[in-house]
Amino acid sequence: MIKLIKPSIEYLEQIIELKQDFFSNNEPRIQGSGSIDKYDDLNEWLKSICDIEQGKNEKLVPSTYYLILADKEVVGTISMRHYLTKDLEEFGGHIGYSIKPSARRKGYAKEALRLILELYKDKYDEILIMCEDDNIASNKTVISNGGVLINQIEKFGLKINRYKVC
């Protein structure tokens, strides 16, 4: 069973394991995590994502962060931006998510995306989600949750597919 929960001190050990899983697999960036990969002190990270959610970080749009739990195990992160700037409409979107490498190919991303879309469906006319063209699993995840390809852009040397979910 998949659940989305707000990050808390209760899950710090599992969050450390999540980070280590990414780093051990040469994946230094954890999408949808509020830049957890840049924090050695997870209490600072918890404060940071709380500040972002409350709009106290003037550099970032307010966003809500969740841990993805599969049978009480933290398997990933997912976030929802409360609104998009012009730049984020072009490149970024509303939702970011990551599943730790050891937990992939089990349907966790698909279900987590379904759950977050369900949580926010009444708050947005459409939700933008973007992923790299060569990330086949993520593209399938978005499409399986009703994502319709708007277009493809090139940014930072990457081909990015831009989807909307209504």
Nearest Cα to Cα of residue 66 among 14, 3, 145, 109 = 3
Angle (CA) 143-162-21 rounded to 5° is: 70
Architecture of the domain made up of 2-165: 3-Layer(aba) Sandwich (3.40)
Over the stretch 23-82, which tens digit does the pLDDT of each residue have? 999 999 999 999 999 999 999 999 999 999 999 999 999 999 999 999 999 999 999 999
Question: Which of the four pLDDT bands, split at 50, 70 and 90, describes residue 125?
Answer: very high
pTM: 0.95
pLDDT of residue 127: 97
- Token representation of residue 42: 């997870």
- Domain boundaries along the sequence of the chain: 2-165
Cβ burial 110-125 (10 Å sphere, 16+ → b, else e)? bbbbbbbbeebeeebe
Asked if pLDDT for residue 166 goes beyond 90, the answer is no
Q: Where are the alpha helices (DSSP H) in the chain?
A: 12-24, 42-53, 86-90, 108-120, 136-144
Which residues, other chains included, contact 110 with Cβ-Cβ below 8 Å and sequence gap of 6+?
140, 141, 144, 145
pLDDT of residue 13: 95
